[in-house]
Chains A and B, each alone.
Chain A
């Protein structure tokens, strides 16, 4: 589906520019987009380097495991095929709480770290596992408690009560998250009914390091 969307965006864009008679737009936009991609990644470097360093410390100290033991039951429901004390659980939980608090740039490294741990359990390294799809669903719809950026923008433009969107945002994200979880469950059963993900072998649970 990503292949089709990607091709579709480019071809439709090309067609519109051609009809408009301004085909230069395509060249210009393509290189601008490429530059944006690199800029965003370079912006990610500092955040990823810092948080992944912090998280290695947390892992070495046994914190990640402790978190997953403590709050395990919550995620066991959403991620039934991830072994209970697997480090992925700890990272999934930190990713979820960072999203909840609106700590966008702390949530991404934690999500990536969780994905990397899930990849260890994944039998087919090029195809997403059910757990990966669930984690992605949670992140695209992420429940938000405080939309910090938007409150700031509203204040900037003289809102009388900039924070009054907290309630509506929380409600809307809760609905979107419920929909994401439901859709994920539906596809999960359809896709994995015949070959359910076997529980990970014990060797995968022991950490590499």
Chain B
């Protein structure tokens, strides 16, 4: 099963890179011009995201560097101990929706400290792999099209992050416990 999945994931992108131009060529599309024409949009889209991402990164960076993040995660520790959640993984729950690179660094550190096959290592890996960086996704997607009012999108994202975090811990305790 796993081999099968690995093969698909290794071949998916190369297949697309070969198939799309070939198919387009057979459909009599001027492939190179079409590519360049579309690619132009990519540049302006990326540039358009800069203000949104800089704004968000500044806020997250200040929040983290000041020690506020540590304070809130430490404060929640005792409550989690009651629920059999290893307190070591707690910061990840808060870090994950805020910063992808930050939480990846934290996960790597947990894996290094406690070992990849420890319960903490497995929970951290599952949490890191199972939700996306909500604030980043929101900033990039809405930033790219100039949406100012995201309605309930952030609430839904954060809610699913919380569910994903709890689910990851429960599933790991169940499977590897």
Contacts and interface: CB of A to CB of B under 8 A. Distances in A.
B60 interface: yes
A106 B50 contact: no
Contacts of A25: 62, 65-66
Given A29-B64, A54-B17, A34 B58 contact: yes
Nearest to B160: A180
A99 B107 CA distance: 21
A14 B57 contact: no
Interface size class of B (residues with CB under 8 A): 35 or more
A49 B39 contact: yes
A54 B16 CA distance: 9
Chain B CB count within 10 A is highest, among A112, A126, A140, for A140
Majority-rule SS of B interface residues: helix
B75 interface: no
B73 interface: no
Given A10-B62, A33-B58, A57 B172 contact: no
B138 A29 contact: no
A183 B161 contact: no
Contact of A180 (B35, B43, B157): B157
Contact of B63 (A10, A145, A157): A10
B34 A36 contact: no
Contacts of A42: 46
A162 B115 CA distance: 11
Contact of A126 (B45, B67, B130, B148): B148
B141 A136 contact: yes
B86 to A, nearest CB: 15
Interface string B135-170: 101101110111111111111110111011001100
Contacts of B45: 48, 52, 112, 116
B36 A53 contact: yes
Interface in A7-52: 9-10, 12-17, 20, 25-26, 28-30, 32-34, 36-38, 40-42, 44-45, 47-52
Given A44-B46, A112-B144, A159-B116, A147 B129 contact: yes
Contacts of A59: 38
A10 B161 CA distance: 22
A135 B144 CA distance: 14
Interface size class of A (residues with CB under 8 A): 35 or more
Nearest to B6: A146
B66 A14 contact: yes
Given A57-B31, A61-B29, A140-B138, A177 B46 contact: no
A54 B141 CA distance: 19
B60 A9 contact: yes
Nearest to B97: A140
Chain A CB count within 10 A is highest, among B16, B21, B63, B168, for B63
Nearest to A1: B154
A45 B145 contact: no
Interface in A137-172: 137, 139-142, 144-150, 153-154, 157-169, 171-172
17 contacts: A2-B138, A13-B68, A30-B58, A33-B58, A41-B50, A51-B42, A57-B38, A101-B12, A119-B145, A119-B147, A137-B156, A141-B157, A147-B128, A165-B126, A172-B164, A172-B171, A173-B131
A62 interface: yes
B47 A14 contact: no
Given A33-B54, A172-B126, A112 B141 contact: yes
B108 to A, nearest CB: 6
B49 interface: yes
B9 A184 contact: no
Name the 8 nearest CB pairs between A and B, nearest first: A56-B38, A33-B61, A147-B129, A176-B164, A53-B39, A37-B54, A29-B65, A49-B42
